[in-house]
Structure formats: C-alpha cells, structure tokens
Structure 1
Amino acid sequence: MFGLDQVQLILILVLLVIVGLRIHQWRSRRSLIRTEHVTERPLLTRASTRKAEAMSSHLRAVTGEVSPDSGLFIMAEVADGRLAGSAAEGDIEPPDDQIAAGDGGFVIRARYTDHVAHVRFELWNESPPVDAWEELWTGQLLLKSGLVCVTGWEYAGHSPDVEFDLGQRDTTWSARVSTKILQTEQEVGFPQAIARVELYRVRFWT
C-alpha cells in the first residue's frame, strides 16, 4: 500500500507528464502553422507573376521586308493613300547614330546596306516586357490615321513595303523600336558573316 506522500508524488508526476504532452502538442501546431505560411508565399508570388504577365499581351502583328535607300528607311503614317508626317516630308535629318524620331514617324539607318531589313509591327494592350533585343528608341507618336508603314528613304514613285493598321485614329501611341542582328559565327579562313539578317521591331501600345 502506498502512503499519502507517495500518492501525492505519483499524482504530481502524472500532472507533469500531461502538461508536458500539452506543451509538445502546442509547439507542434505552431510549427505546422509557420510551415504552411512559408509555403503559401511562393504560391502567392507565382500567382502575382502570372497575373502581371496576363495584363500585358500581344494582340496582333505583321512582318515584312524593306529595302533601305543609301542605308536609310523610314516609318511614316499613311493618310488618304499618301505618306504623311515629318519622316515622309523630309523634316527629319538622317541620324548620325541609328534612329531619329519626329512628329508621326522616324528615320532608321540600317547597320548594313547590302541587303533588305526585316521589319515587324506589333500591337500590345499594355507596355510590353523588355527582352534581349537592343532598344533603339522609346517614346510617343501622334498618329492621325492609325495606319503606319515602312519604306525606303527615297520612297517617291513606289508603294510602302510594309503597312500596319493600328485600328484607332487620332491617338497618341507609346512606341518602342528595337533591333537584333543574326549572323553566322566566324570561321577561320572565311568572312566573319557569310549570312546576316537585320531585324527591326516596332511595338505600339496606349
């Protein structure tokens, strides 16, 4: 038979075990909650990234070729079947660097003059993401007709090489002009670029 003091000691030990178990369970729950919170954050970040990417989307585009004149070609507005704007009217001087912009258009100096340049117009709903292309110019263009084109510097007497209808008149557009040069790698005993392609991309958004 246990004495009174022994019974009290046993009860105290049992209570201590119960309290210890409760503390262990409480700590386990807190650790689980912290782990759940940590794992949720990357999910929220990925969801936010997908949402941001979805906000900026490419709507439509057209791609074509332009033959530079003396290494120059222009982007101008087409109004009533005729080229309009400062680039078409000769108000923009040929650039010393690679591009010169003005009212409703710009003049580009191709880096190589022995071939055609490939030009792509793109319409976006918002500012497009920046990528590995070399940015030449970003700014705003007031376009009254909403129809733009590219053609050689001495365009008189022939139709535009590439046309693109933005679908909206009397609008100030944000525009970004970028370029990329694709060429073969240099091989011993051969020219540096046996094949070379010059790409230009003009992106519009409001």
Structure 2
Amino acid sequence: MREAVDVEYGEFSIVDPGGSEDPAATPIADSWDLGGPTGPWLVGADNILMVRSEFNVHSPTVAFELWDEAPPPQVHPASETAQVTFASSTGCILLEEMTGSDEEHEEFDLGSPDAKWHARGYRVRLVPADHFPDDLDEEVESFCFQFWPAEK
C-alpha cells in the first residue's frame, strides 16, 4: 500500500482502529516519554506507532509492506532506519494525522488480530539538508514501513 499523509507539527501516527483505549494496550504517554522531542523518530506502543518527520508540515508518501519474516534491509544513502515491536488488537492499521483530518485512510491488513508485530521504518530525505521547500506540495521525504510477525 502507498498513500500520502499530512505531517502536522512534525509528526503523524500509524494506528490500529482498536485504539489506545484497548484494555491490553500500553499507555501511549509511557512509550512517547521514552523518546521525547529529541528521541528516536519511530516509537511503538500497543495499537500505535508514532512517527516524527524531519519537516514540520508536508505530505509525504508512506508505503506499507507485509512480510512473513524479517525482510532484507534496504540500502538508501539518504535514509534513516528504526525498528520497533508493537501489538495490534484488530490486526489492521492505518495512517492518522496529529490533528485528526477529515481524510479517510485505507486500512492495511496485517493478518492476525491480538498479535505482536515487528515494524522496520525507513525515513528517506528527498532534498538536501539545507533545502527549504518552495510550497507545501513539494515532496521532501518519504517513508516505508515493513511489518512481520514477532516471535510468539
């Protein structure tokens, strides 16, 4: 799946529609506090992955890939890689803007509900570090997330 998401305040999320209110979910604040504003760009908690962009406001393309086992690492000179493990109560995930846009995002089926998943993320800068976008439509970075089942 490939889809655009609006980065707002330098962030967006990948969420399970079961939500963070799921009784089995680890509180989001407990996970996000581990990272803080200068922490890792990808943080996982139950039913949510929180993603930090290098840019404050833009609309990058985000790709999701589902694998049966750990995929081989990708090599791209302008990318950063992070890996986390998270739990999904419904077995589906979707993109979500920080301020809750009216845009509907497509659900991505991981397969098994009530399971733990590994997520490897690639954040790829598409412009030089000193580049300032001329308009909000310019694509300045992209993301790819690979998912595979965690050991049971």
2:90 to 145, 148, 159: 145
User: How far apart, CA to CA, are the structure 2 residues paired with 1:90 and 1:175?
Assistant: 17
SS at match of 2:17: strand
With over 3 angstroms needed to count, the CA separation of the structure-2 counterparts of 1:71 and 1:162, relative to structure 1, is farther
Return 5+ residue gaps in structure 1 as ranges: 1-61
Q: TM-score normalized by structure 2? A: 0.73
1:123 to 48, 66, 70: 66
Contact 1:149 1:161 in 2 (8 A): yes
User: How far apart, CA to CA, are the structure 2 residues paired with 1:185 and 1:107?
Assistant: 23
User: How far apart, CA to CA, are the structure 2 residues paired with 1:136 and 1:123?
Assistant: 17
User: How far apart, CA to CA, are the structure 2 residues paired with 1:63 and 1:113?
Assistant: 21
What is the match of residue 111 of structure 1? 54
With over 3 angstroms needed to count, the CA separation of the structure-2 counterparts of 1:114 and 1:153, relative to structure 1, is closer
* Counterpart code for 2:46: D
CA RMSD of aligned residues (A): 2.9
Q: How does 1:79-118 map to 2 (within 5 A)?
A: 79=18, 84-85=19-20, 91=29, 92-93=32-33, 95-97=37-39, 98-118=41-61
With over 3 angstroms needed to count, the CA separation of the structure-2 counterparts of 1:72 and 1:162, relative to structure 1, is farther
SS at match of 1:78: coil
What is the match of residue 122 of structure 2? 178
Higher helix fraction (1 or 2) = 1
Query: Relative contact order, CA 8 A, sep 6+: which one is greater?
Result: 2
Q: How does 1:5-84 map to 2 (within 5 A)?
A: 62-79=1-18, 84=19
User: How far apart, CA to CA, are the structure 2 residues paired with 1:193 and 1:154?
Assistant: 22
Deviation of the 1:161 alpha carbon: 3.2
Return 5+ residue gaps in structure 2 as ranges: none
SS at match of 1:121: strand
Identical-residue share of aligned pairs (%): 24
Deviations 1:79-131 (A, max 9, x none): 3xxxx1289x8533564242332223221121123420111111011110012
What is the match of residue 147 of structure 2? 204
Contact 1:76 1:150 in 2 (8 A): yes
Contact 2:64 2:145 in 1 (8 A): yes
SS at match of 1:183: coil
What is the match of residue 158 of structure 1? 102
User: How far apart, CA to CA, are the structure 1 residues paired with 2:43 and 2:122?
Assistant: 13
Deviation of the 1:183 alpha carbon: 2.7
Aligned length: 135
Deviation of the 1:185 alpha carbon: 10
* Counterpart code for 1:102: A
